[in-house]
Chains A and B, each alone.
Chain A
Amino acid sequence: MSSSDALLELRNVTHTYRLRSGVSLKIIENFSLSVRFAEFLGIVGPSGCGKSTILRIMSGLIRPDKGHVLFLGRPLLGTTPRIALMHQQPPLLPWLTVEENVYIALASNSAMSEEVKRMKVSQFLDLVGLTGYESAYPYELSGGMRQRVALARALVSEPDLLLLDEPFSNLDPLTALSLSREIEHMWLDSTLPPASVVMVTHNIEEVVSLADRVIVLHGRPAEILAEVPIELQRPRSKKSEEFYRYVDSIFSLIS
C-alpha cells in the first residue's frame, strides 16, 4: 500500500501498559496500518486483543511508546478536531442539555464565532434527527437518541476521520441498524463529514455490511491475521449469499 493515499498511518507502533500490579502488557508491537482516504475500515478481533488501544492511538489520546502516527503525512502529536471518536457508551454530561453537550466539541475553537457555533450545533442535531430535543437532558433520552447526540458531537467539528468504538453494541438491533445506515449515508455524502471511518466491533455482520476493508486481529501483542476487502455493492443486503460467504470467512478466521 503506498502512503500517498493514506489519511492516517501507523508505522511500526509499539505500546505497553504497565498495570498497577507491576505487570507489563505489550498490547501491540511493530504494528503498521493505513487508513485510506474515503475508506470505511473495519477492525475485528477477539476481546482484549488491543482494538480499543489502536483506536485511541489513532485518535491521539494515547501516544505510543515507539513508532510513528502520521495524519495527512504529518506526525500526530495529540488530539485534533479533525479526528473524532465515538464510544460504545457515549459519555454525555448529565448536567448539560443536548445542545450544550454538542456545543462542548466547539467550545474551545476560538477561531469560530458564537453565532456560527450555534448554527453548526443545530445543523448537526438536525442531521442526526434530534431537532426539537435541543433543550432535553440526556436522562430524558433513549439509548439510541443518546448515541445520536454523541454522533452529532463527534461530527460537529467536521472531522476528516471518524473513529467508532463498538458504536452499536449497546443498542437494540433496530436502532443499531438505522443508526449504522445514517453513518453510512453521511460517510458516502462527500459534502458531509467524515471522509473516512474506522470502526472497531465484535459484530461480523455489522462490519461486512459497512466496511470496504476488514482487518482481522489476533493475539497479544496484536497482529494482523488477515485483511479482507469487501467487494459488495452498496446498499448491501444481508440476505445475499455473497454477504454470508464474507461473514463465514471472517468468522472462521477469528474462531
Chain B
Amino acid sequence: MVLEILTSLGFSWLRLAVALLLSIATALLVGISAGVNGKVERGVIPLLDVLQSVPILGFFPIAIYFLTTSIPFIGAELAAVFLIFTCTFWNIAFGVYESVRSIPSSVREIVDLTKLSWTSRLTRVYIPASIPKIADQLPASIANAFYFLTASEIIVLGKEAYALKGIGVLILRSIESGDIFSVAASLAAVVLSISAAYFFVINPFISYADKYRFDIVQEHPRPLRMASPRLIQPIHKQFLRPLTRFSANAQRILPTALISMRHVSWGVIRSIMMVFLISVLFLLVAQFYAELPDIYATLRGVLAAAVSIGAIPTLEAVGFSMLRVAICVSANLAASLILAYLLAEKWGNLREYILPLLQIVASLPAPLIFPLVAPLFEVSALTREVGAILLMSLGTFWYIFYSTLGGFGRVHREYQELAEMYRLSGFAKFRYIYLPFATPSIVTGLVTATGGAWNTIIVAERLGSEGAIFSVDSPGLGKLMSALAEAGELHALTYTVIVMTAVIVAINRLFWRRLYDYAVKALRIHEQQ
C-alpha cells in the first residue's frame, strides 16, 4: 500500500509540476506581451478574462476530445496536465501582466534610452519584475490545483471514463471501498508532501522573490512576506536541524540556479516555443477540418439542449447559485480582511506559524475530504446550504486572502511609521491606511475569487456519485452541471458551461470592472507611484 501511495503521489506531483511550469512560462509569454504591447493587450486581456471564467469542467470536452483522439498513449495524461493548467494559469498571467504594467516609468524610460536588446529586456527587466507577483500567486494556484485534484485525474463523461494513476483517484477509491486507514494514510502523505514542497522549494522561491520588489526599502526591513515555515522547529529542534540546514542551502542554491537559467540564450527558448505553437496550431486546424460535420452537429445538439432545459429553469438555477456565490464571497472577504490584518499588524510573530499552516490547509483536496464530514450537514435544507457554502469557501478563500495579505504587505514603510507616530488605533489604521492601500489588490482578488466560487459550485452544490450524494435542496447551476456531466449529456453540459461563462463575464464587466475603476479614482491611487 505504501508503494501505491508513493507512486500515485509521485504521478500527481509530476503532473502538477509540469502544469505549474507550463503555467509560469505561458503566463510570462502572454503577460509580458500584453503588458508591453498595446495591440496585444487589447486582444489578449479580454480573451483571458473570458477564458478564466470558463469552469474547469468546461474544458473537459475540448481537452479530452483533442488530446485523447490525436495522441493515443499519453493523451489522457496531457488532458490532465491541461486541466491542472486551467486551474493554475489565469491568476499568474494576470499577475505578470500587472507587474509589467506597474514597472515605474523611470525604469521604462531607462529601458528605452539604453536600447536594451529584447533578450536583456526580458531577462533583466520584465521577468525579474514579474517574479514577486508570481510568488504571490503560487500558493493560490497550488491550492486551486489540489481543490480540483480528482476532477483532473478522473475524467468521466457518461460511458467513457479515464482514471489516471494519481493520489486523487487513490483516495476516491479508498473512500468508495470504505478503507478509512488508506484514506488517512493517503491524506497524510498529501499533507507531508505539500509541507515538504513549501519547505524546500516554494517558500525559498518566495523569499528569493522579495529581492525583486521595487517598493521595498531595505533600510528598515519589516518583512511581511512568508518566511520558511518554522512551524515544527521549536518542537524537534534536534531532529529537524539537518532539514533546516538543507532548506537554507536550497535558499542559496535556488537563486544561483535561476540566475544561470537567465543566461540560457533567449534564441533557444524562442525557437522551441515557435515549434511548439506551430505544431499545436497545425493540430487544431487539421482536427477542425476533419471534424467539421461533427462540429455542426454539436452546435445543433447544444441548441436543442438549451431549448429542452428552458429559460426559466436556467434563470432559476443561475439565481440560486448567484445568491450562494454572493454569500460565500462576502463572508470570505470579511474573514480575509480580519485574518490578513491581524497577521500583518498584530500577530507578526505568529505569521511564521500560521502562514505555512494555511498553505497546507489550502492545498488539501477539499471535495475529497468533504464526504467524510458531509453527514454533519445532513440535518436540514439549511445546514446543507451551509455545507455547500463552506465547501465553496475552501476553493474561494485563498484568492481573497492572499491578495489581501499581499495588498497589506505593500503598505510602504513611511505609512506604517506615520500610523505609529500618530499612535493611530487599530481601527483607524485599518480604515485610513491599510484598507485604502490594499483596495486595488483586494478587488483583483475578488474578481478571481468570484470566478473561483462559480467554478466550485459544480462540486459544492452536488458532490459524489450514485451511491452517496451530498446536494443542496434548491436548484443551482452547479447542481445541474454535475448531474449532466455524470449522465454524460455532453450537449446540455456545454450549454450550461456557456451560461456560466456568460454570467461570470457579465459580473466582471458590469460589477467588478466598475468597482475597480471607481476605487482607483476615489482613492487617487494613480498618485501613489
Binding site for B on A (CB under 8 A): 17-20, 52, 56, 59, 61-62, 78-81, 84-85, 87, 89, 91, 93-96, 104-108, 137-139, 157
Of residues B220, B418, B420, B421, which shows the largest number of chain A Cβ atoms within 10 Å of its Cβ?
B421
Chain A nearest CB: distance from B270 CB in Å? 34
List the B side residues contacting A80 at CB < 8 Å.
423
Cross-chain contact A61 with B420 (CB below 8 angstroms): yes
- Interface assignment of B262: CB less than 8 Å from any CB of chain A: no
List the A side residues contacting B433 at CB < 8 Å.
93
Cross-chain contact A87 with B424 (CB below 8 angstroms): no
Cross-chain contact B223 with A95 (CB below 8 angstroms): no
Cross-chain contact B424 with A79 (CB below 8 angstroms): no
CB pairs A–B below 8 angstroms (29 shown): A17-B219, A17-B220, A18-B221, A19-B221, A20-B221, A20-B223, A52-B219, A61-B417, A61-B420, A61-B421, A78-B420, A79-B421, A81-B423, A85-B417, A91-B415, A91-B417, A93-B433, A93-B436, A94-B523, A94-B524, A94-B525, A96-B432, A104-B422, A105-B422, A106-B422, A107-B425, A107-B428, A108-B423, A139-B526
Chain B nearest CB: distance from A16 CB in Å? 12
Chain A nearest CB: distance from B256 CB in Å? 14
Other A-B pairs beyond A89-B414, A108-B424, 20, CB < 8 Å: A17-B219, A17-B220, A18-B221, A19-B218, A56-B220, A59-B421, A61-B417, A61-B420, A78-B420, A79-B423, A93-B432, A95-B522, A95-B523, A95-B524, A96-B432, A107-B424, A107-B428, A108-B423, A108-B428, A137-B524
Per the 8 Å Cβ criterion, residues 471-498 of B in contact with A are none
- Rounded to whole angstroms, the CA-CA distance of A106 and B422 in the bound complex is 7
List the A side residues contacting B432 at CB < 8 Å.
93, 96, 104, 107
Q: Which 5 A-B pairs have the closest CB atoms?
A: A139-B527, A91-B414, A94-B524, A95-B523, A94-B527
- Rounded to whole angstroms, the CA-CA distance of A156 and B397 in the bound complex is 42
List the A side residues contacting B117 at CB < 8 Å.
none
Of residues B219, B436, B523, which shows the largest number of chain A Cβ atoms within 10 Å of its Cβ?
B219
List the A side residues contacting B352 at CB < 8 Å.
none
- Interface assignment of B412: CB less than 8 Å from any CB of chain A: yes
Cross-chain contact B424 with A94 (CB below 8 angstroms): no
- Rounded to whole angstroms, the CA-CA distance of A84 and B420 in the bound complex is 11
Cross-chain contact A79 with B527 (CB below 8 angstroms): no
- Rounded to whole angstroms, the CA-CA distance of A87 and B421 in the bound complex is 12
- Rounded to whole angstroms, the CA-CA distance of A93 and B432 in the bound complex is 8
Per the 8 Å Cβ criterion, residues 420-444 of B in contact with A are 420-425, 428, 432-433, 436
The listed residue (A17, A19, A87, A139) touching B414 by CB distance below 8 A is: A87
Of residues B420, B525, B526, which shows the largest number of chain A Cβ atoms within 10 Å of its Cβ?
B420
- Rounded to whole angstroms, the CA-CA distance of A139 and B418 in the bound complex is 19
Return the chain B residue nearest A83 by Cβ: B421
Return the chain A residue nearest B522 by Cβ: A95
Cross-chain contact B421 with A84 (CB below 8 angstroms): yes
Q: How large is the interface on B (under 10, 10 to 19, 20 to 34, 35 or more residues)?
A: 20 to 34
- Interface assignment of B98: CB less than 8 Å from any CB of chain A: no
Cross-chain contact B527 with A108 (CB below 8 angstroms): no
List the B side residues contacting A62 at CB < 8 Å.
220
- Rounded to whole angstroms, the CA-CA distance of A93 and B436 in the bound complex is 9
List the B side residues contacting A95 at CB < 8 Å.
436, 522-524
List the B side residues contacting A139 at CB < 8 Å.
524, 526-527
List the A side residues contacting B420 at CB < 8 Å.
61, 78-79
List the B side residues contacting A106 at CB < 8 Å.
422
Chain A nearest CB: distance from B185 CB in Å? 39
Return the chain A residue nearest B219 by Cβ: A52
List the B side residues contacting A61 at CB < 8 Å.
417, 420-421
Return the chain A residue nearest B225 by Cβ: A20
Return the chain A residue nearest B431 by Cβ: A107
Chain A nearest CB: distance from B254 CB in Å? 14
- Rounded to whole angstroms, the CA-CA distance of A25 and B27 in the bound complex is 39
Cross-chain contact B527 with A85 (CB below 8 angstroms): no
List the A side residues contacting B422 at CB < 8 Å.
79, 81, 104-108, 157
- Interface assignment of B345: CB less than 8 Å from any CB of chain A: no
- Rounded to whole angstroms, the CA-CA distance of A157 and B424 in the bound complex is 13
Given contacts A79-B423, A108-B428, contact A93 B221 (CB under 8 A): no
Return the chain A residue nearest B221 by Cβ: A20
- Interface assignment of B210: CB less than 8 Å from any CB of chain A: yes
List the A side residues contacting B525 at CB < 8 Å.
94
- Interface assignment of B528: CB less than 8 Å from any CB of chain A: yes
Return the chain B residue nearest A86 by Cβ: B421
Chain A nearest CB: distance from B174 CB in Å? 44
- Rounded to whole angstroms, the CA-CA distance of A157 and B420 in the bound complex is 14
Chain B nearest CB: distance from A85 CB in Å? 6
- Rounded to whole angstroms, the CA-CA distance of A100 and B89 in the bound complex is 42
Per the 8 Å Cβ criterion, residues 503-529 of B in contact with A are 522-528
Chain B nearest CB: distance from A83 CB in Å? 8
- Rounded to whole angstroms, the CA-CA distance of A75 and B493 in the bound complex is 71
List the A side residues contacting B523 at CB < 8 Å.
94-95
Chain B nearest CB: distance from A175 CB in Å? 19
The listed residue (B207, B412, B421) touching A85 by CB distance below 8 A is: B421
The listed residue (A81, A104, A137) touching B418 by CB distance below 8 A is: A104
- Rounded to whole angstroms, the CA-CA distance of A232 and B207 in the bound complex is 53
Chain A nearest CB: distance from B39 CB in Å? 30
Return the chain B residue nearest A93 by Cβ: B432
Return the chain B residue nearest A150 by Cβ: B418
- Rounded to whole angstroms, the CA-CA distance of A57 and B377 in the bound complex is 56
List the A side residues contacting B220 at CB < 8 Å.
17, 56, 62
Return the chain A residue nearest B423 by Cβ: A108
Chain B nearest CB: distance from A21 CB in Å? 9
- Rounded to whole angstroms, the CA-CA distance of A36 and B515 in the bound complex is 53
- Rounded to whole angstroms, the CA-CA distance of A18 and B222 in the bound complex is 11
- Rounded to whole angstroms, the CA-CA distance of A36 and B433 in the bound complex is 35
- Rounded to whole angstroms, the CA-CA distance of A49 and B89 in the bound complex is 46
Cross-chain contact B528 with A94 (CB below 8 angstroms): yes
Return the chain A residue nearest B419 by Cβ: A104
Cross-chain contact A91 with B527 (CB below 8 angstroms): no
- Rounded to whole angstroms, the CA-CA distance of A2 and B108 in the bound complex is 55
Per the 8 Å Cβ criterion, residues 171-230 of B in contact with A are 207, 210, 218-221, 223
